[in-house]
Chains A and B, each alone.
Chain A
Amino acid sequence: MKKSSRFILIICLFLFISACGQEQATVKVGDLAPDFSLVDLEGKTWVLSELKGQVVFINFWATWCPPCMKELPSMQKLYTTLPGDKFKMLAVLNNDKPVVANFVANQNGFTMPILDDSKQLIGARYAITGLPETFIVDKQGIVREKVIGPAQWDSPGSVQMIMNLINQ
């Protein structure tokens, strides 16, 4: 009896902690990108569904994440290379402080919009594995690429892949 009550106690503990969970979702290539509304560091509100007709590059990052910092210069090059009316880059700040991101962006000349998801609500909706993680959404709002980890975004292959989506 004593043993079984201990066993039940452990199971209850398990369930309690599991219940303190995050939103369960997985976003795969081919899924409709979950809509969101986030404010960038300059106060502008970005609603994903309002960007239909453009290719959207959504990158989850944080200043404390060295691989994120490593890929940011190539993202900046991609951002300045591609036409702004057909391509939007949204750098979504995850689990970090906007004031720190603003400082880092100013110091390094990153000019893409940085959206504040410091409470990780949108990160959870996209079920990100870690940081960085990137979703490329086509003109219809469908996720076409999901990249876990850093990438060289200004490489000819990456630019061509996004140009193909723009020209579709």
Chain B
Amino acid sequence: MDLLRKWVQGLFFFMTNGYWNFPVTRSIYKGPLKVVCSPGLNCYSCPASTTYCPIGALQQLFAGIRISIETGQFFMGFYVIGTMGILGGFVGRMICGWACPFGLFQELLHKIPSPKFGIWPLLRYMKYILLVFMVILLPLFAIDEFGSGSTWFCKYFCPAGTLEAGIPMLLLQPALQANLGWLFLLKLSILIFFIIWAVLASRPFCRTACPLGAFYALFSKVKLIKVSLDHKKCTHCGACHDVCPMGVHFNESPDDMECISCLSCSKVCKQNAINLGIRGLSIANQYKKPKVKPI
């Protein structure tokens, strides 16, 4: 299952970033696939991106909602909310563990040998604050003279945008360097901070700052496909604690909002107490007993 997850991660990375003509065109992809909403955090302005980011689109919806309501044009916003709701309802934060390119990037960074540290649990709540303020309230209420808001999270924070769009576009279009200022330096600093943090700790952006993860986390109790715990089999040995990339103690909180259904815990559970299932019906179980050679 771990190998399957890696393949799915790779597949989603290439499907959402599959436009490799950009060194020739030196611009972002604007072909027919660009109407599709990416399940994970993946910047619209990444030159290879074939899809658009749900968090960016959500901010655009709130930023332009006054004009949209006055002109009756808010269908795109419904589509984004609908897509995010369907994905959240079916798999929730499984998207983070299986389909998010920026999650994959952090996983790869964490493989770099270095001392490893945990993350202070209270920091997990920061992503909900970012979701409420930078994705919803500020785009909705901090409006300019034209009655439009701004995409606050994309503009002032998102390290995925800096990595996938800001830096590549500056290399592809050197003329853009004339527009560089303190804002780019701020975003570059945030990106460097999260890169270093991801080497030292597992998935720090997902755990502390991703508003998309925060949105999907709201579905953790009701989602259709989820990792479940068989309380009868669990011996509370704690084997699942150390392997969780999100710092979840699965035997203590099986509906934890941080769980990304990566199944690392299932792999080490010798009691077969942790399974991936659809509404309680087990579809995958990972622990394999070590083969004992006959004497």
Q: Quick check: A103 and B50 within 8 Å, CB to CB?
A: no
Residues on A with C-beta less than 8 A from B25 are 21-22, 24-26, 127
Q: Quick check: B179 and A149 within 8 Å, CB to CB?
A: yes
Q: Which residues of B contact A (CB under 8 A)?
A: 7, 10-11, 14-15, 18-21, 24-33, 45, 50, 60, 63-64, 67-68, 70-73, 144, 146-148, 150-151, 169, 172-173, 175-176, 178-179
Q: Quick check: B15 and A13 within 8 Å, CB to CB?
A: yes
* Residues of A within 8 A of B (CB-CB), count: 35
Residues on B with C-beta less than 8 A from A97 are 71, 73
CB closest chain-B residue, reference A128? B27
Q: Quick check: B20 and A148 within 8 Å, CB to CB?
A: no
With contacts A100-B68, A129-B169, A130-B169 known, what are 8 further pairs, Cβ within 8 A?
A13-B14, A17-B15, A17-B33, A18-B18, A18-B19, A20-B50, A21-B25, A26-B26
What distance in Å separates the Cβ of B56 from its nearest Cβ neighbour in chain A?
A: 11
**Which residue among B27, B146, B150 has the maximum number of chain A CB atoms within 10 Å of its CB?**
B27
Q: Quick check: A69 and B144 within 8 Å, CB to CB?
A: yes
What distance in Å separates the Cβ of B240 from its nearest Cβ neighbour in chain A?
A: 30
Contacting residues of chain A (1-28) with chain B, CB-CB under 8 angstroms: 6, 10, 13-14, 16-18, 20-22, 24-26
A124 interfacial contact with B, CB 8 Å: yes
Q: Quick check: B30 and A124 within 8 Å, CB to CB?
A: yes
Q: Quick check: B176 and A148 within 8 Å, CB to CB?
A: yes
Residues on B with C-beta less than 8 A from A20 are 31-33, 50
User: Complex: how many Å from CA A14 to CA B28?
Assistant: 16
**Which residue among B19, B144, B151 has the maximum number of chain A CB atoms within 10 Å of its CB?**
B19
Residues on A with C-beta less than 8 A from B24 are 24
User: Complex: how many Å from CA A149 to CA B180?
Assistant: 11
Residues on A with C-beta less than 8 A from B63 are 64, 66
Residues on A with C-beta less than 8 A from B64 are 63-64
* B26: contacting residue among A99, A120, A129, CB under 8 A: A129
Residues on A with C-beta less than 8 A from B50 are 17, 20
Q: Quick check: A66 and B179 within 8 Å, CB to CB?
A: no
Q: Quick check: A14 and B14 within 8 Å, CB to CB?
A: yes
Given contacts A99-B73, A103-B70, contact A69 B146 (CB under 8 A): yes
What distance in Å separates the Cβ of A118 from its nearest Cβ neighbour in chain B?
A: 11
Given contacts A17-B50, A20-B32, contact A64 B60 (CB under 8 A): yes
User: Complex: how many Å from CA A160 to CA B63?
Assistant: 36
Chain A 8-51: CB-based contact to B (< 8 A → 1; otherwise 0)? 00100110111011101110000000000000000000000000
